[in-house]
A = this chain, B = another copy of it.
Amino acid sequence: MDFTFEAISAEEYDRQRASYEPLTDALRRLIDVGIHTEVDDATVQQALTHLAAAEELLGRQQRSGRSTLRHADTGRPVAWANPAVGLRNAIAPPMRIEHEPDGTCWSEFTLGPAYEGPPGWVHGGIAALVLDHLLGEVASDGLTQPRFTGTISLRYLRGTPLGPLRAEAFVERSEGAKTFARGYLMDADGVTVEADGVFITPAWARDAG
């Protein structure tokens, strides 16, 4: 596959974000309201007419999706489409990830009814998605280094309630092509899920170090 990189200025990023973020937020609200609606079929049909009109409007001009946007100032990927952090992907909560000067990462975010597994609790696989992403970010210096998940192990200490949550991750050590990262998912009472991951620098990127 042929992928290219495209730089985006801070101004253009802000302009696109101001225009498209409300759209993604509207889709997130629709996902939630769609899960639990009990309106009759005639009302569903009316809603479908509006959704089809929105789809037609938004489909008039589409990015190819084959080029990766990077911030012109930091070189970090924009990751707008990412299912964990993407501001333009309605599947993402989204997590907004903070990078500390010491290399650790953290994020505070809210998981609502769309992420529910057992009644009232976050789906275990969503906890895995959140932690896999955060460990990958910390292991790859904010996605600036090519590092792929080799293995990840998750220990579920107790249920994670829906609502406001925090996740943290840090690099434990590096050995050759392997980077060992560790992270936690937490509610107000402490850790609910622990994660350990081994991330691999691919062979083609090893000489560059």
- Interface residues, chain A, CB within 8 Å of chain B? 1, 3, 19-20, 22-24, 26-27, 29-31, 33-39, 41, 43-44, 46-48, 50-55, 57-66, 68, 80-84, 86, 88-91, 113-120, 123-126, 128-133, 136, 148-156, 159
Contacts and interface: CB of A to CB of B under 8 A. Distances in A.
Contact of A47 (B47, B57, B116, B126): B57
What's the number of copies of this chain in the assembled complex? 2
Given A34-B90, A62-B37, A91-B114, A132 B124 contact: yes
Nearest to A43: B57
A113 B81 contact: yes
B125 A130 contact: yes
A119 B1 contact: yes
Given A29-B55, A50-B50, A128-B128, 6 more contacts: A38-B61, A39-B60, A81-B114, A83-B117, A124-B133, A152-B153
Nearest to A84: B125
A82 B37 contact: no
A3 B119 contact: yes
Contact of A39 (B26, B58, B130, B131): B58
Contact of A33 (B1, B47, B62, B132): B62
- Which of A26, A54, A89, A131 has the largest count of B CB atoms less than 10 A from its CB? A54
